[in-house]
Structures are given as C-alpha cells and as structure tokens.
Amino acid sequence: MKRVLWLGNPLFGNIVNRLPEPRGFQVRVETFHKPRILTWEDITALAGFEPDVLVFGDNSSPPSLLGLESYPCLTVFACVDSHVHSWYPLYAQAFDLCTVNLRDHLPQFLGPRLDEGRVLWSPPFAWDEDVFIPAEKSLDMIFVGKDDPLLTPGRSAMLAELRRRFPGFRCTTGNYRAMFPTARLVFNYSDLGDMNFRIFEALACRGCLVTPRIGHGLEEMFADGEELFLYDPGDLEGLCALVARLLADEPLRERVAAAGQAKVDALHRARNRAAVFAAWLAGQPAAELLERRKREARAIHAQVLKPLYLHWSQALADTPLAQVYLDAARRGLGLGAAQTGLGPDAASACPREGVGGP
C-alpha cells in the first residue's frame, strides 16, 4: 500500500480511501488554507512517515514547499486557480505530475517536464453534501456568493442590473444548499472566465442553472437547454430574454433541473474525480519519474524555483518570508528547517489574496 500525503486544499483527497478500488493508495490529508512554509523535514514530521506520494492541493498561496526539487517521493500539484495566478504553469514544472481544473489552460502546463501524460484535466465537482433540500420556491432567481463592487466590480454591476430588471432576484451569501431550492432559477457569474464550483453545487441541489458560456469543457459535460442554460457573458439583453422565458415555463425549468442533477450524480461528484485521479496516478511510472527529477534537480531549481523564490522575496518585502525565499533562491537543493530560521507556520503573516504572479 503506497502512502499518500495530501497537503493544503483537500479537494477530493479524503475520498480516495473510500473508493471501491483505491488503486493501492492510502491517503492522509493535512488541510491548511493559510500559507505555510514546509521543508522535507517539516513534512515528514507533520505526517509521522515518509510518503510515497506528496500531493499539494492549490490553496492560492506563495510556494509552500522548499527543496521541492529534491523530495524523495513522487510529487503532484493539484492546481485550481490558474485563472488567478499566472506563475502556476512555471511552478508546475518543479513537480512530477499536475492536475488542472480549467481544461483550456492545459496547454500552458505542458513544458520541459510535463507532457500530456503527466497533466490531468480534473474539473470542479459537487460534494456529497450537495443534495436537494425541498423548499417552497419564493424567489424568481438567486445568486449565492460575494457581491463586492471593489473586489468584483463586473459581477456587482451585472447583479445590480439584474435586480433592477427582475425584482424577484436576490443576491445573498450563506448556506447555498438550503437557498438554491428556494428559487426558480439559480444564477451564476464567472469573473475571470473560470469554471467555478457553483456550477456543480447548484446542479447537485437541483437548481435550474443559468451560467455563462466559458469554455473549459463545460458544453461537453452538460447540454445547453437540457441540463442547464448558458448565456453569452457580453449579451445582457440575451440573458434577460432567457431569464424571462424560463420564468414563464415551469415544466421546462423542472425538467432541466432534474436532468442536471442526474448528470452530476452520475459523473461529476468528488468520488468521480477521486476515481479518475487514483487510476491516473496508479498508471504513472513512479520510479522513472523520480530518477529523472534526481538527474534534473539542479536545473529545476535554477530554471523554475529560483526565479519564483526571487519574485516572492520581492513581492513579500518587509515580511519574515522575504529572507526565507531569498535564502531558498541562493542555497538551492535540500534547504532544511534549521536553515530557514522559521517554523512551518512562519508564513502566517503573508497575505493569501491579492498577491500577483511574476
């Protein structure tokens, strides 16, 4: 049984152990959403064992793993936010394998060390807890998510216009599982053209979903007009006409909502992503990949990690992390915990959001 340590964003990591065919993997998940700095010594101390596979779940933070190029186990970057962080495709080249949420970004991750067999498209999904909770439909349409004119100006402007045109439209935050069933339509908006989790959450809760046409394989996964409804992001009048038509056709809404839920239940839950991931991981030539990284470790540091460390030492100037990244850039291979001078939680002062890529 191969031992897998899954760090950061857990995604579907915990589900692998519950699969009918776990493919010989036993996964332990150590979740953290705040940035952390970890060396190999930190990782083995945290786990209590030396993993055969290390998965880092994207938590939208600066590089967390120091000495990554010399880790003595298979390494996987589970990437989610490539629409936000332009440095992710470069960072991925320091790992043996990579999963990518956004299908249209896959070519960006192909490079010197990652070919098509080493990069897996792993789209968002619905959680097991995302289920239909029957409720009276008291609203025409609902949006559950952030509405902040400063942080999401495009979204806020769209929501304001829709509220003006449709008085029965409500924007809120909170327990989406209880809220989605209270509306005839569930509205989704994508600020940066990403395929967000709201799509799968809404469908799993049997919401009649109106969501933007954003690519990334969405139309291959779900049929427009049969399992959800798509609108063109730049066509406000077309969107409003679609909403008006749907509000007047309850049988269509109910039929499409049920079909969307059935599709998610069959193909797009956490267990589905976990099964695909486990099968893909089991098929990788682990020994060959490790030997290759051992040979290329110095080049990986020089060409991939050092530029990123230098960038983050500047981006985080006047914080304790600036010197850590500068030292990592200078020292290269095998930077240990004693050399950092900081514990694993030293990155707690580092902002998680709003720090751009190189």
Residue 93 near residue 113, CB atoms below 8 Å: yes
pLDDT at 351 over 80: no
pLDDT at 346 over 50: no
Q: What is the pLDDT of residues 140-174, one digit of tens each?
A: 999 999 999 998 899 999 999 999 999 999 999 99
Q: What is the pLDDT of residues 40-55, one digit of tens each?
A: 999 999 999 999 999 9
pLDDT at 336 over 90: no
Given this model, what pLDDT does residue 332 score?
Answer: 62
Task: Give the integer Cα–Cα distance in Å for 128 and 15.
Answer: 10
Residue 7 near residue 55, CB atoms below 8 Å: yes
Query: pLDDT band for position 238 (50/70/90)?
Result: very high
Q: What is the pLDDT of residues 263-316, one digit of tens each?
A: 999 999 999 999 999 999 999 999 999 999 999 999 999 999 999 999 999 999
Residue 146 near residue 162, CB atoms below 8 Å: no
Copy the structure tokens of residue 137.
């439909």
Q: What is the pLDDT of residues 56-87, one digit of tens each?
A: 999 999 999 999 999 999 999 999 999 999 99
Residue 44 near residue 92, CB atoms below 8 Å: no
pLDDT at 356 over 80: no
The predicted model scores a pTM of 0.91
Given this model, what pLDDT does residue 57 score?
Answer: 96
- By C-alpha distance, which of 182, 181, 195 is closest to 102? 195
pLDDT at 355 over 70: no
Task: Give the integer Cα–Cα distance in Å for 78 and 285.
Answer: 18
Residue 142 near residue 169, CB atoms below 8 Å: yes
Q: Is 211 left (phi over 0), alpha (psi -120 to 50) or beta?
A: beta
Given this model, what pLDDT does residue 186 score?
Answer: 98
Query: pLDDT band for position 239 (50/70/90)?
Result: very high
Given this model, what pLDDT does residue 192 score?
Answer: 87
Given this model, what pLDDT does residue 34 score?
Answer: 81
Query: pLDDT band for position 191 (50/70/90)?
Result: confident
pLDDT at 339 over 90: no
Task: Give the integer Cα–Cα distance in Å for 47 and 5.
Answer: 7
Average pLDDT over residues 181-194: 95
